[in-house]
Amino acid sequence: MRIATFNVNSITARLPRLLAWLETSGTDVLCIQETKCSAEQFPAAELRELGYESAVNATGRWNGVALLSRVGLEDVVTGLPGGPDYEGVEEPRAISATCGGVRVWSVYVPNGREVEHDHYGYKLEWFRALAGAVAEDAAGPRPFAVLGDFNVAPTDEDVYDPAVFAGLTHVTPAERAALEALRAAGLSDVFPRALKYDRPYTFWDYRMLAFPKNKGMRIDLVYGNEPFVKAVKDSYVDREERKGKGASDHAPVVVDLDL
């Protein structure tokens, strides 16, 4: 089974490229973040033509997550159980389902904006709720993984220059401690290979020629439990999908499982 996670940064803007990628990538299950559309606007019909069922948690022009599967889509749970609101709104940042015997979550963790911003506190609250919500599945016998845009670089080696990010979100001790809480719940970071490059970055800003200069970050992550990790045969960043006109500022992270 091939499972991937991809922050598409607007599924409407990225749809032609996404459909082409699905046709050639051999992906069985795809976790999508930043759909930036309502559930009614989600292109379920176009995806169905390629053999994918869809489960969507999306409410409008911001955020939004989805799961696509051609190996079954069962027991869908929309939202983060026990998750916090932001300014009175439950944002569409999580969705989970069972696909071909594997339980998967697609998550889009809040950005945090600035360390002093209330969005940063919301981000840490969201992480605490996530750790609690996944604990039972993480400890269970079924392959289980949380995939998505975590908006945290796990270590200094996961950013192109730690000095550039000093004092900013995505690299603070509290955010990295939130990832440690996931590991304590029984999940491990499935580290992808960096094809042709020293570091497997997954995000490059559109500005300042960040992608050609490989000034990136690894913030799109796969955290799996022991049965999931034992089944992993390969994992990599599909950097080619970040190239060219109309690309997202993220690249897909792909994991191959032998089940």
Is 151 annotated in a binding site? The answer is: yes
| Residue 75 bears catalytic tag | no
Distance between CA atoms of residues 226 and 141, nearest Å? 8
Distance between CA atoms of residues 223 and 225, nearest Å? 7
For 171, counting Cβ atoms within 10 Å of its Cβ (0-12 exposed, 13-18 middle, 19+ buried), the class is buried
| Residue 223 bears catalytic tag | no
Give the active site residue among 28, 149, 189, 238: 149
Give the active site residue among 52, 86, 108, 122: 108
| Residue 160 bears catalytic tag | no
Distance between CA atoms of residues 88 and 109, nearest Å? 17
Is 225 annotated in a binding site? The answer is: no
Greatest CA separation for the chain: 47
Distance of CA 144 to the CA centre of its chain: 14
Is 250 annotated in a binding site? The answer is: yes
Is 91 annotated in a binding site? The answer is: no
Tokens of 52: 């994918």
Is 149 annotated in a binding site? The answer is: yes
Nearest to 224 by CA among 249, 192, 202: 192
- Adjacency order of strands within the sheet including 188-189: 74-78, 94-99, 102-108, 144-149, 220-224, 188-189
Distance between CA atoms of residues 226 and 92, nearest Å? 28
Q: Would the CA dihedral through 114, 149, 231, 75 be positive or negative? A: positive
Check residue 156 and report its DSSP letter.
G
Which residues are designated catalytic?
A: 108, 149, 250
Q: Could you tell me which residues are annotated as the binding site?
A: 7, 34, 149, 151, 249-250
Q: Which residues are annotated as a binding site for Mg(2+)?
A: 7, 34, 149, 151, 249-250
